Structure 1
């Protein structure tokens, strides 16, 4: 069984697009998750070429470099944690990443900082702030409920972090009517 790592797969629709492109070139999969495709067979050179072209046209990219695969893995674990799971997990981010990616956290942290010019922690915070923006836009939860759902220790801490990242308080952010969110693959 072969595995493909794909850059910019950040949501369920991304998974559907990649599955569709694989189906077009007659490739069967075991499993498709954020950033990763488990194939039932190896791809021919022609299939790889066609898949690369089709995915690039849709904003995705097959990653064949090991370090880039690890970086994409870190991003996908964080995106999944923040945007697609109930945040009941009280484990440290470092433990979660080490367990899921099977590497020492120091290695992951140093590699991420070297390649991305930011820290894992700053990337995690940026993703959490994007989730806060999304939830504020829906206007269904109080700031206290948002803080709780994203495991912030207090509303004050969330508000301070939000202002540091966006330059606005959550209240000011809600008053601005235009779309202020950033696509997840651009965070």
Structure 2
């Protein structure tokens, strides 16, 4: 493979992973490494053997809303945590959104094989677009850094914790009330 193609692929992979990481880190309390992995996951189709054919080709099965929905359902069933499912949706959704804008687009209606491609045909992996995506991702991370950690949520149970609740009565306090 020629050097230009390798650099293009590396840049595209890094961008999808970083945007997924930034979205998960910036907008959820889930582990941001989930965003890194799931932001890159659809491009795992590069690992499929070429002789497998459709839909196991690049921009085939793994670049479809059906794949994303199935993956998110599986994430939720395994984790039983809406934050994890939301994080997964942000990460894989960002990948599909970016690729859907490219000239090749994605298969929105999979498993139907149609010629319909609503893509505007943007060069989403060009140097300018890549710089824009990285700048936006850095902006999300910077915004999150100024907000500090989210202390009002327990990410393990995905339930709201109220820190300002009244303390429960102690035995001494109840004795005074009687």
User: What TM-score comes out, normalization by structure 1 length?
Assistant: 0.26
Higher fraction of strand: 1
Greater RCO (Cα-Cα under 8 Å, separation 6 or more): 2
The structure with the largest alpha-carbon Rg is 2
